[in-house]
Amino acid sequence: MKPYRFVIAASACALLASCASVSSLDPTALIQSGQMATQAAMLSDADVRALTDKSCAQLDSENQIAAANSTYQKRLNGIAAQLGDNIDGVPVNYKVYVTKDVNAWAMANGCVRVYSGLMDIMNDSEVRGVVGHEMGHVALGHTRKAMQLAYATSAVRSVASSAGGVAATLSGSQLGDFSEKLINAQFSQSQESAADDYSFDLQKKKNLDPSGLVTAFNKLAQLDGGKSSMLSSHPASPARAQHIQQRIASNQ
């Protein structure tokens, strides 16, 4: 049985991209790491909710949230009213993080966060396009897949298991690592394009002008990479702006 178990663990490490030092792990650690990777790939809806609830709560506690009566939150409330209060039936809660960083993200539990740095350089139409894009990653299952990988690569550092559910297996530091990986998840070119189209289609469905997507991409492309964590996880390609411009022109 030992060779078979080692193959499972080694395969899990190949999946994880953070197992360069596999030789430094003992067989027991490899087996348990493989089990946790398998568990990550089979996360239930309850597991997803528990992990994202914990992650969002931690990030909220670590960031300054704009006051309800602030200009930032009022702007976001207006955008939220246009986009809707749910993603395929999952209730959405919108908040603004007061920070100079330029970013926005959404989680599978409906947690949507927009950074004030992004709102400072974009008008409401552009912010709406970006938020719609992030909601697209959720609706299309991209964030769930990213969450599985983030969980696996965070939990692989631990060889302990828990009967309290997958969320209970993460220590505070692991949860922080998981959250960072999740909000900075790298999406494929096809996933980015699909999320762009989701935002476009959502806005057209609600009789909104989707042209903000084009100008938002152009603004992101002009930013210094050091000023926006969004550029590393959501590359602002001129081709993406052109694609949306073509859809606008063809009204499709």
Spatial CA neighbour of 178 closest among 206, 143, 203: 143
Spatial CA neighbour of 131 closest among 106, 108, 102: 106
> Alpha-carbon distance 170 to 220, whole Å?
34
Q: What is the DSSP secondary structure assignment for residue 69, as one 8-state letter?
A: T
The angle at the Cα of 92, spanning 223 to 113, to the nearest 5 degrees, equals 25
* Residue 111 dihedral angles phi and psi, to the nearest 5°: -80, 115
Among left, alpha and beta (phi > 0; psi -120 to 50; other), residue 208 is beta
Token digits for 251? 């009204």
Spatial CA neighbour of 213 closest among 195, 229, 225, 228: 195
Cα atoms in the Cβ-side hemisphere of radius 13 Å centred on 132: 32
Cα atoms in the Cβ-side hemisphere of radius 13 Å centred on 128: 24
Q: What are the residues facing 94 on neighbouring strands?
A: 112
Whether 192 is a known active-site residue: answer no
Q: Per the residue annotation, which of 126, 134, 180, 192 is the catalytic one?
A: 134
Angle between helices 142-155 and 27-41 (to 10 degrees): 160
Positions annotated as catalytic residues are: 134
